[in-house]
Amino acid sequence: MDRHQRAEERLGTAGVAYRRVGSAEATAANLAWWDADADDYQATHREFLGAADFVWCPEGLREADARLLGEVRGSSVLEVGCGSAPCTRWLACQGARAVGVDLSAGMLRHALADHRRTGADAPLIQASAERLPLATGGFDTACSAFGAVPFVASLDAVFAEVARVLRPGGRWVFAVTHPMRWIFPDDPGPTGLTATQPYFDRTPYVEVNADGAATYVEYHHTMGDYVRALSGAGFRLTDLIEPEWPEAHTRVWGQWSPLRGKLFPGTAIFSAVAAGG
């Protein structure tokens, strides 16, 4: 059985469309999707992600090695789109005052279970990244490892919220699917090496039920879109990391594979500093 099949059956997914999707529809669809898929996602990826580890991407880049967030001990760190929160727990273990935010109650249920198993002490909040229920200027750093950013209707809204909750000069580091991957089929094999989609087409990828209502939504943004949205929110881009595929890494994760990873990047990690820094 395909890993996503159970979630698709629960939600009545009947096909794929490319169409505009507003914030309310995307939020409802992705909340339902991640709740429906949470158990299977954990069963598939938990061993790779760990219970209290910070893995930035399918290429296996770890914060323990990359140190993209700098020294976190004693600092306040927000993880946006924390999922089951292994990164939040790792940050807490490093001495950070870590907080995790995620839209999905299903994913946070797994996060709480792993909190209990590991003894982690880090608050978890269910909320949309477009409306963070957090005080202004309360964090030194914000991060996201493939969480929230590709699934919300407005990059501007998310980046503005992150800028609001950061202190002046705070750091915002987030990992997303590399924008160039949009032009290829979502396939880890040879079929995934031939371009079929226009890079400049921002129309969201939408899975729909028999009535045409969205059951899953993912947005495409170009490199320029990310840079402009960061600048518009008052951030200064300081680095852009495109992790290379490690030679001995054989894991296939969705469309990520050794075959594709040797030829072109699968992940883009943006590192930026808020106004005042």
For residue 2, give both structure tokens.
């395909």
Give the model confidence (pLDDT) of 127-160 as tens digits: 999 999 999 999 999 999 999 999 999 999 999 9
3-state secondary structure 210-272: CCCCEEEEECCCCHHHHHHHHHHCCCEEEEEECCCCCCCCCCCECCECHHHHCCCCCEEEEEE
pLDDT of residue 18: 94
Give the model confidence (pLDDT) of 79-93 as tens digits: 999 999 999 999 999
For residue 49, give both structure tokens.
């992600």
Count helices and strands in the chain by DSSP H and E runs? 8, 10
Q: How many angstroms separate the CA atoms of 18 and 277, rounded?
A: 39
54 pLDDT more than 60: yes
Q: Contact, 56 vs 63, CB < 8 A?
A: yes
Question: How would you classify residue 148: left for phi > 0, otherwise alpha for psi between -120 and 50, otherwise beta?
Answer: left
Note if the pTM is more than 0.75. Answer: yes
State how far the alpha carbon of 231 is from the alpha carbons of 68, 156, 167, 274, in Å.
20, 10, 17, 9
Those residues with Cβ within 8 angstroms of residue 9's Cβ, 6 or more apart along the chain or in another chain = none
Give the model confidence (pLDDT) of 167-211 as tens digits: 999 999 999 999 999 999 999 999 999 999 999 999 999 999 999
Among 183, 231, 218, 78, residue whose Cα is nearest residue 140: 78
Among 151, 172, 178, residue whose Cα is nearest residue 243: 178
The share of the chain scoring above pLDDT 90, in percent, equals 97
Mean pLDDT of 54-67: 98
Q: Scan for tokens 């495109």, then name that residue.
A: 242
pLDDT of residue 4: 84
